[in-house]
Amino acid sequence: MTTIALSPAASGARIVSLGHCLPATVLTSEEVAARLTVDAEWIVSRTGIRERRIADKGETVVDLATAAGRHALERLPSGTVDTVLVATSTPDSTMPSVAARVAGRLGLPEPAAFDVNAACAGFCYGLATADALIRAGSSRGALVIGADKASAFLDWADRDTAVLFADGAGAAVLQPAERPGIGPVLWGSAGERSELITIDADDGVLRQNGPAVYRWASGLGPMARRICDRAGISPDRLAAFIPHQANLRIINALATHLKLGDDTVVATDVVDTGNTMAATIPLALSRMSESGRLGADAEVLLFGFGAGLSYAGQVITL
């Protein structure tokens, strides 16, 4: 009996470059408030969001993802990318995949390319998948992108969604590494509560039960702590905490539960980017790295959560 040959495995993977893309158009909470006939401070006090970026009508998810991916590839010192994975729940079309179209635009030679739909937890799902592919020897380098154009699915008269969601993309390139830089993933779902956040196939409108989602997300602190436990790191040793940028009050509740160190940087990009769904974590990570707020070998907790209901997270070392 013939033994099937296996691809050479890698000890682990690390993020070696980052990139992001934000649309040029800024929509302030004052402008959103005027549409909803509410006070802008009502929006800010409940969400923390003062402004967000909105893609133009002709600007697509593929456009945003390609720009973020190109940004990351331009920073890539060396190495191969043979896998493209895009986390999105707002694709421009059902098929072909966003990933395949992005790979084509970037000129990558025949990479594996596929999308992941885990909503706002999607980037962490994608990161774990790419890490596993590299460890198994099935990929020699992966471009993982989180990209969404939520504005195309919004009812601008709906206070539960219009005040929150926005557009953008973030990207990371992973390559094999002798010293692993992607910690064990903790992921899961609560499908019995799937009706809390939906995009209906009939009318294509994003809807959510805001109070119920807020209560669920604000109570995920123990889950975030379990991610640290799996990685063998105490939360007070983290260089940074980058949760899904859903709402500033949720971010603060999670950070408080974790009892982070005095020097731990907490991402609050939601204030000026809004909730960009699968893009929030890679977008915040790229901006934080670009600003110089993360030193060498910085240990960072990523934690995504959203529709599904789904969650995922891991500690990474940059």
> Which residues are identified as catalytic?
120, 244, 275
Taking CA atoms, 154 is separated from 65, 132, 166, 216, 259, in Å, by: 20, 35, 9, 22, 35
Signed CA dihedral, 44, 281, 147, 289: sign only:
positive
Choose among 129, 147, 123, 162: nearest CA to 242. Answer: 123
Query: Would you say how long the chain is, in residues?
Result: 318
Following DSSP, what letter does each residue of 159-204 receive, concatenated? HHHHTTB-EEEEEEEEEE-SS--B---EEEE-GGGGGGEEE-TTT-
CB 304 within 8 A of CB 313: yes
Pairing of strands 167-176, 142-149: antiparallel
> How far apart (Å, rounded) are the C-alpha atoms in residues 110 and 238?
38
User: Could you tell me if 206 and 153 are in contact, meaning their C-beta atoms sit under 8 angstroms apart?
Assistant: yes
Taking the CB of residue 3, how many other CB atoms lie within 10 A of it?
A: 5
Strand partners, 249: none
CB 120 within 8 A of CB 304: yes
